[in-house]
Structure 1
Amino acid sequence: MANPIRIGLVGVGKIARDQHLPVIGASPDYTLAAVASRQGTYDGVPNYRTLPEMLAGRHGLEAVALCQPPQARFEAGLAAIEAGLHVFLEKPPGASLAEIGLLAAAARARGVSLFASWHSRYASGVEPARRWLAGRRIRAVSIAWMEDVRHWHPGQDWIWETGGMGVFDPGINALSIATHILPPFFLTGATLSVPENRQAPIAADLRFTDAAGTPIRAVFDWRQTGPQTWDIRVETEDGVLVLSRGGAVLTIDGRDQPLPPEAEYRGLYDRFAALVRSGASEVDLNPLTHVADAFLRGERRLVEAFTD
């Protein structure tokens, strides 16, 4: 087995504690060398406030995972690339399409790997769904991604700021799955519900189509309490496929399909290790393109103020 990749992590928040740090700690492909975070710490490794401080501390770093809010990703990503490190970007990979394009160009020039990760694509049912849909005629698609922002993002003001994406922070997970399992599609219209005291939407109603004229509708809402909804329903000429629980459950014509255990972030880190060792990059911007199109083409509708 190749030597473990010495990786640093930037941003010790909820997603880092829940997913990144446990997976890195359990993987034979990595050694956690250091972390950097303005608000959190992690026991057992050197801790720094900023990425530049962590880079100055050396530690033989070979790669870095960036888990801070997307508004801060470009500066950190560029600094890591210029230091010769391979870069893993938590989703969404950045606050704009153009900045990620610049990071990809910098990574190519420096000869390091850049990975724009989409964890929902590694949900257990996604790849089987993609294989089943391949070559089948799709008649209609409906996506419902509804959850309680107070539960999943308590006190996180950055998600409501410009570049924070609001309800598209979870909604982009649905788009990452849809762009992986469906033929290419494009936005035809959107309504974005924006709280009067915030910059980013709390809900979105999106209409898409593809080259064959297939109707595709996606509804994202952060105001749902009780059971949470993460479903994609695809009607085809051969039956109805449903991905539910964010891709963890797959049914075809109402029958549950056998799936492997959940391992989204393990799949991401396995893929990143393979990219690093092969000298390749993977930067798919299709999910973020659809979000950008929604902001470009969507109608803004003011709704009641949101308070956490």
Structure 2
Amino acid sequence: MTDLRIAIVGFGKIARDQHVGAIAATAGAALAAVASRNASLSNLPHFATIEELLHKGPPIDAVSLCTPPQVRRAQAAAALAAGKHVMLEKPPGTGVAELDPLIAMAADAKRTLFATWHSRYAPAVEPAREWLATRRIRSVHINWKEDVRVWHPGQAWIWEPGGLGVFDPGINALSILTRILPKSVFVTAAELAFPANRQAPIAANLTLTDIGDTPITAEFDFRQTGPQSWDIVVETDQGRMSLSRGGRVMAVDGKIISEAPDEEYRELYRRFVVLAATGASDVDLAPLRLVADSFLLGERTIVEPFMD
């Protein structure tokens, strides 16, 4: 079987830090080109735009879209129309409804559309899901706080409409939540803090539940300094289960049950190779729906301006 020839579109920090190495480590995948206005990779064909890549580039089978979400829909549509498989970095778009035409295009073309949630592939997430499946859940709390200046330095798009602000990392927590809980969850209330000079929130507190009225709360904040917090705590009838370090460590009543190195992006590309072999798609919009509902229900407050 020949390798899936992949072009990365959008070559920012996450593409350099995660995608390049993950493709190199994935059997059946090969990085064939880069499309980016501002960056390139030595020894690889480079193009300024996806249009130039598709018309003038080397033969490719797939594109991995690592551009800001505001432009991904049009890029995905162009790639699917050209007969390419498409991987979407998270979030898959700026709205929920814009994904429906892409799903239909992929099905018609028998090409893969893969909306990725990399945090679901953290090593302790599946053990947590399996453990919770046989317990009665009493409550859930998410504490997801990080320093935007460390993780998104100079990335102005994240503060623009569609950039999601603090929900860019927060959606990672929601992607884990919707994977590990046995019942679907929904938002009942939200408090959103918007810097006076920005169009997206810098912090958010959410109240959620499921059909059984399980209390679920989440705290997201982009202003965290010092140690970063990526934790989910679930109280059950058989003890307290915690996921920490973004889903890499699972513990029950303080005892570590599962811990492993981070291979989230390698797992994404392994999944992409399998999907592309048959043209199957994987598009779960549950995390994005929760973010959209948070904006719909959110009570907004204005806080001090944010200066990068």
Same fold (TM over 0.5): yes
TM-score bracket for the superposition, by shorter chain length: over 0.9
Partner of 1:249: 249
Structure 2 unaligned runs (5+)?
A: none
The alignment's TM-score, normalised by the length of structure 1, stands at 0.98
Coordinate RMSD, CA, aligned: 0.8
SS in 1 for 2:97: helix
Partner of 1:42: 41
Cα deviation, 1:97-142, whole Å, max 9, x if unaligned, reads 1111111111111110000000000001100000000131100000
SS in 1 for 2:23: helix
* CA apart distance, 1:53: 0.3
* CA apart distance, 1:293: 0.2
Cα deviation, 1:188-217, whole Å, max 9, x if unaligned, reads 100000001000000000000111111000
Q: Distance in 2 between matches of 1:262 and 1:304?
A: 35
* CA apart distance, 1:60: 1.5
Q: Distance in 2 between matches of 1:134 and 1:253?
A: 17
SS in 1 for 2:258: coil
Deviates more, 1:35-44 or 1:217-226: 35-44
Q: Distance in 2 between matches of 1:160 and 1:218?
A: 21
Q: Distance in 2 between matches of 1:89 and 1:192?
A: 26
Q: 1:264 aligned to 2:264?
A: yes
Partner of 2:194: 194
Deviates more, 1:255-264 or 1:106-115: 255-264
Q: Distance in 2 between matches of 1:85 and 1:278?
A: 13
Pairing 1:45-194 to 2, within 5 Å after superposition: 45-182=44-181, 183-194=183-194
SS in 2 for 1:246: coil
Pairing 1:196-235 to 2, within 5 Å after superposition: 196-235=196-235
Q: Distance in 2 between matches of 1:17 and 1:58?
A: 20
The alignment's TM-score, normalised by the length of structure 2, stands at 0.98
* CA apart distance, 1:92: 0.4
Q: Distance in 1 between matches of 2:122 and 2:32?
A: 28
SS in 2 for 1:61: coil
Q: Is the 8 A contact 2:10 2:67 kept in 1?
A: yes
Q: Distance in 1 between matches of 2:277 and 2:58?
A: 20
The one-letter amino acid of 1:92's match is P
Q: Distance in 2 between matches of 1:223 and 1:194?
A: 12
The one-letter amino acid of 1:143's match is I
Deviates more, 1:102-111 or 1:286-295: 102-111
* CA apart distance, 1:261: 2.8
Deviates more, 1:45-54 or 1:56-65: 56-65
The one-letter amino acid of 2:187's match is L
* CA apart distance, 1:304: 0.6
Q: Is the 8 A contact 2:243 2:251 kept in 1?
A: yes
Structure 1 unaligned runs (5+)?
A: none
The one-letter amino acid of 1:77's match is A
Cα deviation, 1:138-178, whole Å, max 9, x if unaligned, reads 00000000000011111110000000000000000000000
Q: Distance in 2 between matches of 1:279 and 1:103?
A: 14
Q: Is the 8 A contact 2:119 2:176 kept in 1?
A: yes
* CA apart distance, 1:58: 3.9
The one-letter amino acid of 2:106's match is A
Q: Distance in 2 between matches of 1:263 and 1:25?
A: 13
